[in-house]
Amino acid sequence: MHSNVDVYCERRVADWIGTRTTHDARRITKYTSRFTLRASRRLVIILVLVAVLTGLSCSKGPDRQEVVLYCSVDQALAEPIVAEFERQSEITVLARYDTEASKTVGLVQRIRAEAAAPTADVFWSNEIFHTIRLARDGLLTPYHSEVTAAWPATFADPNRCWYGFALRGRVIGYNTNRVSAEEAPKSLEDVLKVRWKGRLVMASPAFGTTGGDVASWFAHYGPDHARKILRQLKDNDVRIVSGNSTAVRMVATGQADLCFTDTDDIHAGQRNDWPVAMHFLDQGGDGVLAIPNTAALIKGGPHPEAADVLMRFLLSEDLERRLVKSDSHNSPIRASVAQEYPQYAIPNPLPVDYGRVADFLPTAIAAARESLE
């Protein structure tokens, strides 16, 4: 085999050098073979060195930490905040968001389903009532830091399993081309008047902040009066839609004149130059329901150290400042920040026991389904 190859090489080289002797060709062939072998050996050595150096560079330092976040805050609002946390902390956030139609409830159900082997570490919710119920069912774990030591009692779990911040208010949105600011209703009682028959839409109380709003009627007015309000809404031909943003869009496009919604949805519509404005949804002259965001550690979460860092970030003054300056314009609970943004204050907040509202949540949702859907 080798002799045939040598002969072939000799002939090729001889053809190439023309008048050179066969003896010279053999010398050139041997030289070429030795050169090729040396080059091959050098290439193998280089490849081995590259592989070793690459392995060493990859093994330098610890792996980047991860934390799993379940978040029912609007994804477009939360993602830049999560990215900023990643930049500051060098911790990778694996975030799961909820849809508008199943806002909050979908993630709450997931946390319950995973209770035996939790996937998530932190729950950042855009409301408080389902968070309270998770804490009562033992699915959250206490969190303490120097920041939370003086947290307002109204916005803190007695066992420190959750903390509230960055408020939104319940409002009556209206189409400014069809309803003037003077005639637009300013309270729940105003909306029940016959002049608004067929002109109101609201999100399904089964999901999101609407369920908590209806539950607050049960807590504030009492169950009998709250059920009467639901019947009056039905008599006034209220239409149920998939979410607050859908309700605001229907008002903006003239498919309805009024809607129940949250402050952030009206701010979003105005940012889009929609013809919408709002009055705060006063309950019988006693005030407006203010709904905080909440942050909580999930019991048994797989990344406790990184979760602690994320909780510290979510409960920071910097985050409240980011949220009030964002398109959502959440009202801060910190007086030092709130006084800088008086235009986003919630006037006359309803004196409310959030725990009692959470107690009524299943009853309120069931009653609303029975009366409205």
Residue 3 clears pLDDT 80, i.e. is over it: no
- The answer to whether position 311 is within a domain reads yes
- The answer to whether position 353 is within a domain reads no
- Residue 215's closest CA among 330, 99, 331, 128? 128
Residue 41 clears pLDDT 60, i.e. is over it: no
3-state secondary structure of 206: coil
Torsion of CA 195, 196, 197, 199, to 10 degrees: 140
CB-based contact 126:73 (threshold 8 Å): yes
- The answer to whether position 351 is within a domain reads no
Residues 297 and 162 in one domain: yes
- Residue 163's closest CA among 128, 204, 202, 192? 128
- pLDDT band at residue 58 under the 50/70/90 scheme: very low
- The answer to whether position 358 is within a domain reads no
Residues 163 and 85 in one domain: yes
Residues 270 and 211 in one domain: yes
Residues 283 and 315 in one domain: no
Q: What is the arithmetic mean of pLDDT over 261-281?
A: 97
In sequence order, the 6+-apart residues with CB closer than 8 A to the CB of 21 are none
Gyration radius of the chain's alpha carbons? 33
- The answer to whether position 267 is within a domain reads yes
Q: Print the domain residue range for 158.
A: 66-167+292-346
Least confident segment among 22-31, 231-240, 323-332, 358-367: 22-31
Q: For the packed helices 105-113 and 129-136, what is the interaxial angle rounded to 10 degrees? A: 10
Domain CATH for 205: 3.40.190.10
Residue that terminates a domain, selected from 59, 85, 103: 59
- The answer to whether position 360 is within a domain reads no
Residues 173 and 285 in one domain: yes
- The answer to whether position 354 is within a domain reads no
In sequence order, the 6+-apart residues with CB closer than 8 A to the CB of 274 are 248, 249, 252
Residues 229 and 272 in one domain: yes
CA atoms lying within 13 Å on the CB side of residue 273? 0
Q: What is the arithmetic mean of pLDDT over 272-297?
A: 98
Residue 354 clears pLDDT 70, i.e. is over it: yes
- pLDDT band at residue 62 under the 50/70/90 scheme: low
Provide the number of structural domains found in the chain.
3
pLDDT at 104: 82
Average pLDDT, the chain: 87
- pLDDT band at residue 248 under the 50/70/90 scheme: very high
Q: For the packed helices 129-136 and 208-221, what is the interaxial angle rounded to 10 degrees? A: 80
pTM of the model: 0.82
- The answer to whether position 94 is within a domain reads yes
- pLDDT band at residue 373 under the 50/70/90 scheme: confident
For residues 13 and 364, the model is more confident at 364
Residues 272 and 178 in one domain: yes
Q: What percent of the chain has pLDDT over 70?
A: 82
pLDDT at 63: 77
Q: Taken in order 122, 124, 130, 131, is the CA torsion positive or negative?
A: positive
CB-based contact 283:216 (threshold 8 Å): yes
Residues 159 and 301 in one domain: yes
pLDDT at 29: 40
Residues 254 and 329 in one domain: no
Q: What is the arithmetic mean of pLDDT over 165-187?
A: 98
- Residue 352's closest CA among 213, 244, 228, 227? 213
Residue 9 clears pLDDT 60, i.e. is over it: no
pLDDT at 98: 85
Residues 28 and 90 in one domain: no
pLDDT at 207: 87
Residues 49 and 105 in one domain: no
pLDDT at 324: 98
Cα 312 to Cα 105, 236, 333: the distances in Å are 25, 46, 16
Amino acid present at 368: A
Start-to-end CA span in the chain (Å): 88
Residues 54 and 71 in one domain: no
Using CB atoms within 10 Å of the CB of residue 332, give its burial: 0 to 12 exposed, 13 to 18 middle, 19+ buried: buried
